[in-house]
Amino acid sequence: MSTQIPYATLILRWYDRHQRILPWRAKTGTIPNPYYVLLSEIMLQQTQVATVIPYFNKFIENFPTLNDLAEASLEKVMAMWTGLGYYSRARNLHRCAQEIAQQGGMIPNDYHALKALPGIGDYTASAILSIGYNQPYVAVDGNVERVTARLFAIQEPLPAVKPTLMSLAKILNAGQEAQVRAGDFAQALFDIGATICKPKHPLCLICPLSEVCKACQENIADILPIRQKKTAKPTKYGISLFIQNEKGQILLCKRPEKGVLAGTMELPSTLWSEQFTSLEQALNEIGCHGNFKESGQIKHVFTHFTLKVKLFKLENNLKLLEKTQDNIWIDLNKLSQYPCSSLMKKMIAYMTTISSEDLK
Ligand code: SF4
């Protein structure tokens, strides 16, 4: 190491000059709002900052406090979450707000109490404690993993090396300066990972850590962290029906409360399986009869699988069987009031002249 300056000093000095301005982040010298931290951290799970910002602002406008969120209907919360993906986060967030409200409304400042809440795991609890309450917890997200792997030139592949990276991140966090400014330190690591130590082209020339970074010195930053090769994603297949009545309304139904896109509204659809079923089988499974015409196919990539859906449009002679009679007819211009996933908006846009942007 060619400098005696501790990691934390370098990191915090950089943060004081270059931190990102984010709507959930407290300005220097002001007290953070733990509700903003909780909300943003749940939204940021698997989601980019730029995508989260408008959703965060919309939530704060509609639910300025945790109690407002707890008192809102789940339908309203789900509708506002529409487009952000991973919908179980929205239901857990709502349940979490309700549990906190029942306990008096203060977001816990204790690790075990936080972990007991719906949707809060180790990372989110650590982030809330460090950013929201300035407690010396280490929140290790993908950014921090990358910075740590490069700083210490760790060449074992992810995900097996995660515990090692977690221990090394704790070493970074161990000095007094990092402990005293725990919230700033956690956010500084996020910011360095997001803006300097980028996945593909790390900007080592302007990095505050370049003099102490082993990967930079060994010129291997670009290839770290190493990831175990992924196995190919499986493909699943389904059939969805576009059914419109004489008023132009479309028929939607609710997905099950558990699993992919839980609780969102969708076109009447089959389960997604290993191969396409016939239209006849699909109609029996969905619970309706009528004359349908094949109208195209949509491909959608989820984290763990690729989905191909054949779309069929009703021509005439619709008969809904008992199991589809709870479905609802919705005006296309009111679709934004319902929790529809990006996948569903893509399908509806495909079947109409409306762009999926207009359905947001
Ligand atoms: S010097 Fe380069 S590789 Fe090392 S932490 Fe900074 S940006 Fe990342």
Structure tokens at 347: 């399908």
Domain for residue 229, yes or no? no
How many residues can be counted in the chain?
360
Domain boundary residue among 170, 200, 223?
223
Q: Which helix (H) or strand (E) holds 37?
A: helix 34-44
Considering the chain, what is the average pLDDT of its residues?
A: 92
Distance 213 CA to ligand 1 centre (A): 6
Q: Is the CB of 194 under 6 A from ligand 1?
A: no
Q: Do 103 and 164 sit in the same domain of this protein?
A: yes
Let me know whether 257 and 166 are in one domain: no
Q: Report pLDDT for 355.
A: 45
Atom of ligand 1 nearest to the CA of 213: 4
223, 255, 278 - which closes a domain: 223
The model's pLDDT over 78-126, given as tens digits with 9 standing for 90+, comes to: 999 988 988 889 999 999 999 999 999 999 999 999 999 999 999 999 9
**Could you tell me if residue 294 is inside a domain?**
yes
| Same domain, residue pair 247 and 101 | no
Span 133-151, pLDDT tens digits? 999 999 999 999 999 999 9
Distances, alpha carbon 162 to alpha carbons 14, 108, 145, 287, 335, in Å: 26, 27, 8, 47, 42
The answer to whether residue 208 is domain-embedded is yes
- Residue 129 scores a pLDDT above 90: yes
Residue 356 domain-assigned (yes or no) = no
Centre of ligand 1 to C-alpha 230, Å, is 25
Please give the Cα distance from 252 to 103 (Å, whole number): 37
283 lines ligand 1 (CB under 6 A): no
Query: Are 108 and 162 in the same domain?
Result: yes
pLDDT at res. 325: 63
State the pairing for strand pair 306-320/235-242.
parallel
Query: Are 145 and 254 part of one and the same domain?
Result: no
Q: Which protein residue has the closest C-alpha to ligand 1 atom 4?
A: 213
- Is residue 278 located within the same domain as residue 321? yes
In this structure, are 52 and 191 located in the same domain?
A: yes
pLDDT at 357 over 80: no
Q: Which atom of ligand 1 is nearest to the CA of 214?
A: 4
Q: Over 90: is that where the pLDDT of 16 sits?
A: yes
pLDDT, average across residues 217-233: 92
Dihedral Cα 59, 65, 71, 74, nearest 10 deg: 20
Q: How far apart are the C-alpha atoms of 215 and 219, rounded to whole Å?
A: 6
C-beta of 37 in contact with ligand 1 (< 6 A): no
Q: Which atom of ligand 1 is nearest to the CA of 221?
A: 3
pLDDT above 90 covers a percentage of the chain that reads: 79
pLDDT of 3 > 80? The answer is no
> pLDDT per residue over 285-325, tens digit each?
999 999 999 999 999 999 889 999 999 999 999 988 877 66
The mean per-residue pLDDT over the stretch 164-177 comes to: 91
Nearest to 142 by CA among 48, 54, 216: 48
- Segment (H or E) for 242: strand 235-242
Tokens of 140: 């290790």
Q: Are residues 283 and 192 in the same domain?
A: no
95: part of which helix (H) or strand (E)?
helix 88-102
User: In this structure, are 154 and 293 located in the same domain?
Assistant: no
Q: CATH no. for residue 267?
A: 3.90.79.10
Range(s) of the domain holding residue 86: 7-223
Mean pLDDT in residue range 271-276: 94
pLDDT exceeds cutoff 70 at 159: yes
**Domain CATH code at residue 198:** 1.10.340.30
How many structural domains comprise the chain? 2
CB-ligand 1 contact for 196 (6 Å cutoff) = yes
Instruction: Note whether 255 and 312 are same-domain residues.
Output: yes
